């Protein structure tokens, strides 16, 4: 007769505590990275960004030559295109949140990574990194395209160009972080896109319309206006670094509000 040996809980080998810690933030970032690149969204956004940047940069250089404007840095062309390019980043970042709420997969994400702030931070990190690299590459493309139609109305210095490219990347990365925060607040693509379009484009248009000095100062505190001052390196109405800090403040505020909503409401 065979002898059956039972292993009691006390006899079972003790598992290391490290087996239960999960992947942490690095694992959450890896998961978000994998999810992002298994969808069409980043590829479509990058393709649209290439076309938009090329067309806008060529147009900008042509207009500068036709109007016989003074010589300017060639990087001004891709910087001007960011006013449209930023909405591609908005779509890329917000869909990482709103698509999961639309399909119900946000519940799976929060089961895989129960620490909610880690989920949001991972999404912001991944979309911010992709937006930074994409912004630098598209900025370089814009400089190359704009150089031809400028025909002597533009200058190029390596150091200045590198700073401008990094500025474009940094601004778009912060826009991505801002978009993730707003998306967690709104949870719907329509609500998030409408809110971000109003903040980044609609509100500046309304404030600059009347020509009021007070409204102009308010507009200077908005993320799009502050980002434009930062990328152009303007000293007026505030130093370039202040513009970066203003955009960073908007991104952090959106992130914290989104996190508060994520913690208080069920998925």
264, pLDDT greater than 90: no
5, pLDDT greater than 80: no
pLDDT tens by residue, 147-161 = 999 988 899 999 999
At residue 265, the pLDDT reads 80
2, pLDDT greater than 50: no
Which band of pLDDT confidence, cut at 50, 70 and 90, is reported for residue 190?
A: very high
Residue 56 to residue 59: CA distance in whole angstroms: 5
CA terminus-to-terminus distance, the chain: 55
Tokens matching residue 256:
């914290």
At residue 198, the pLDDT reads 95
At residue 24, the pLDDT reads 86
List of residues 6+ apart from 197 with CB closer than 8 A: 87, 90
| 3-state DSSP assignment of residue 92 | helix
267, pLDDT greater than 90: no
At residue 20, the pLDDT reads 55
Tokens matching residue 215:
């409204």
CA distances from 168 to 40, 135, 162, 216 (A): 24, 6, 10, 23
252, pLDDT greater than 60: yes
Long-range contacts of 46-51 (CB under 8 A, 24+ apart): 46/134, 48/88, 49/85, 49/88, 49/134, 49/138, 50/138, 50/141
Return the minimum-mean-pLDDT range out of 127-141, 169-183, 208-222: 208-222
Within 10 angstroms of residue 191's Cβ, the number of other Cβ atoms is 15
Residue 180 to residue 178: CA distance in whole angstroms: 6
């Amino acid at each position: 007769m065979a002898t059956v040996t039972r292993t009691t809980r006390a006899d079972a080998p003790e598992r290391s505590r490290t087996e239960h810690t999960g992947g942490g933030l690095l694992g959450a970032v890896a998961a978000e990275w994998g999810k992002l690149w298994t969808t069409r969204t980043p590829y479509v956004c990058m393709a649209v960004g290439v076309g938009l940047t090329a067309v806008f940069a060529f147009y900008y250089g042509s207009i500068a030559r036709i109007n016989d404007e003074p010589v300017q840095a060639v990087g001004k062309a891709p910087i001007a295109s960011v006013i449209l390019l930023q909405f591609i980043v908005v779509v890329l970042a917000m869909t990482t949140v709103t698509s999961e709420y639309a399909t119900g997969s946000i519940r799976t994400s929060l089961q895989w990574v129960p620490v909610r702030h880690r989920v949001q931070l991972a999404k912001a990190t991944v979309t911010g990194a992709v937006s930074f690299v994409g912004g630098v590459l598209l900025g370089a493309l814009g400089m190359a395209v704009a150089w031809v139609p400028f025909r002597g109305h533009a200058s190029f210095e390596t150091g200045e160009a590198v700073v401008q490219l990094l500025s474009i990347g940094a601004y778009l990365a912060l826009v991505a972080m801002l978009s993730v925060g707003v998306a967690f607040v709104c949870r719907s693509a329509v609500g998030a896109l409408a809110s971000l379009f109003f903040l980044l484009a609609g509100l500046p248009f309304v404030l600059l319309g009347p020509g009021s000095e007070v409204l102009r100062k308010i507009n200077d505190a908005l993320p799009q206006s502050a980002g434009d001052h930062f990328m152009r390196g303007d000293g007026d109405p505030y130093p370039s670094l202040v513009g970066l800090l203003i955009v960073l403040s908007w991104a952090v505020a959106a992130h914290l509000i989104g996190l508060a909503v994520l913690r208080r409401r069920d998925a």
